[in-house]
Copies of this chain bind each other. A is one copy, B any other.
């Protein structure tokens, strides 16, 4: 992968931040978009725009074909079939849909739903709500001191059965990649459906749903070079067939009477109303772009950058790093803190050097609390970041430390 060639595809990287070039290390929050993605959507609006489904004119047939074509591309990326791909706004909606419909279909009073201590709020709060609605119990599996899922606790919790296990493929704060195939096996033996938050993995590495062994998978387009406003819920087709709808309205029905309605088959049952069809076309272009780079190479590039970050951060005595120390056990991000310095100050000082990192609780308040801090700094990388940018980050941190200690 030629990172300098890649960079030329991303117009925003030409941006100056004050007197400095932009060093964007916040791709875990949202990624930038290559010209191919921006142009795919603009061209759609300029040439092929029409509402999808149902219309009988050529223009609408073309738009529908492009929308369904995007679904097929996403299915191809995951090794899934197109009818298992539901388009939603993003990971958050996908997980709300999962929690609501699985809650209704599978969870009864007294049942148990299992999450982990390292979940993003998007994979925690919807399950709290589902548990509340169904009168079920929510159990959170703790993490170890090293920032990994406590495997023994996981087995123990599941030994008394559960209806759903909701867990992240990779923590957006610790970076930890969870061994989903093993965890799914254990969950399945306990009779649970496994829902995986893949917001931080599908964009960054090859993910095959059959190898993963889970039953549902959620991710966002905007974190994988695609537009905002679109995301994906993948689920096994038999499971989708069994579930009631989440939102209702046009396009997801079979027949509607004033006193009731019947539902279309999946995936349409879960796509009420006008879907984000132009964004689907953009996401399709993003999948093409990533596939051309090759997700194996994308992953290798991430691991190389994370390794440089981990080395650079660990050798600075004023810095503490959170999560596993092995770069290959991590997603493409590192959280850290400067001793006695609030992460917000670090982020502000780095911004003045043109370095964009995130500081805060990263939508994982229980985890931040578990780590015993108010917040952390997080640097995250993607296909367009260079080793030189990691060096810029490290020297900007030295400078911030000099100023604030």
Which residues of B lie under 8 Å from residue A29 when comparing CB positions? 50-51, 55
B residues less than 8 Å from A18 (CB atoms): 58
Q: Mark A15-35, 1 if CB is under 8 A from B, else 0.
A: 101100010101001101100
CB neighbours of A272 from chain B (8 A): 92-93, 96, 122
A125 within 8 A of B: yes
Task: Give the distance in Å from the alpha carbon of A348 to the alpha carbon of B222 in the complex.
Answer: 37
Stretch binding the partner chain, chosen from A208-216, A256-264, A315-323: A256-264
| Per-position 1/0 for A26-70, Cβ under 8 A of B | 100110110001110110011111110011111110000000000
Q: Of residues 109 to 137 in A, which have CB atoms within 8 Å of B's CB atoms? A: 117, 120-122, 124-126, 128-129
- B46 engages A12 (CB within 8 Å): yes
A277 to B60, CA, bound (A): 26
Q: Which residues of B contact A54 (CB under 8 A)?
A: 358, 360
A279→B274 CA distance, assembly (Å): 14
Chain A, 342-357, contact with B by CB distance < 8 Å: what is the 0/1 string? Answer: 0010011011000111
Asked if A227 and B60 make an inter-chain contact with CB atoms under 8 angstroms apart, the answer reads no
Nearest Cβ distance between residue A113 and chain B, in whole angstroms? 12
- Chain B contacts of A167 at CB under 8 A? none
By the criterion CB–CB under 8 Å, are B260 and A128 in contact? yes
Q: Are B30 and A38 in contact (CB under 8 A)?
A: no
Q: Does B248 contact A56, Cβ atoms closer than 8 Å? A: no
Q: Are A273 and B92 in contact (CB under 8 A)?
A: yes
> Once bound together, how far apart are the Cα atoms of A129 and B104, in whole Å?
13
Instruction: Please tell me if A175 contacts chain B, counting CB pairs below 8 Å.
Output: no
Asked if A33 and B56 make an inter-chain contact with CB atoms under 8 angstroms apart, the answer reads no
* A128 B261 Cβ-Cβ under 8 A: yes
Given A92-B250, A121-B250, A126-B247, A365–B255 Cβ distance below 8 Å? yes
A64 to chain B, nearest CB (A): 12
Considering the complex, give the chain B residue whose CB is closest to the CB of A56.
B347
Task: Determine the distance from Cα of A18 to Cα of B121 in the docked complex, in whole angstroms.
Answer: 51
A304 at the interface (CB under 8 A from B): no
> In the bound complex, do residue A59 and residue B92 qualify as a contact, i.e. CB atoms below 8 Å apart?
no
Number of copies: 2
Taking A26-B55, A30-B50, A366-B258 as contacts, is the C-beta distance between A125 and B253 under 8 angstroms? yes
The distance in angstroms between the C-alpha atoms of A38 and B46, with both chains bound, is 8
Judge if A230 is at the interface, Cβ distance under 8 Å: yes
Please, which residues of chain B bring their CB within 8 A of the CB of A228? 229, 274-279
In the assembled complex, A184 has its CB within 8 A of some CB on chain B: no
Q: Is A138 part of the binding interface, using a Cβ–Cβ cutoff of 8 Å?
A: yes
What CA separation (Å) do A96 and B247 show in the bound complex? 6
Cβ B17 vs Cβ A58 within 8 A:
yes
A57 contact set on B, CB distance < 8 A: 17, 26, 347-348, 350-351, 355-357
| A92, A258, A276 pick with most chain B CB within 10 angstroms | A258
A255 to B369, CA, bound (A): 11
Residue with the highest number of chain B CB atoms closer than 10 Å, among A12, A32, A256, A348:
A256
A140 to B258, CA, bound (A): 7
Given contacts A229-B276, A250-B363, 8 further A-B contacts (CB under 8 A): A29-B51, A29-B55, A56-B348, A56-B358, A57-B355, A138-B259, A249-B363, A257-B365
Which 6 A/B pairs are nearest by Cβ-Cβ distance?
Answer: A92-B273, A229-B229, A229-B276, A122-B249, A250-B363, A125-B248
- In the assembled complex, 6 residue pairs joining A and B whose CB atoms fall closer than 8 Å, in A order, are A15-B59, A29-B51, A39-B42, A89-B273, A92-B273, A138-B259
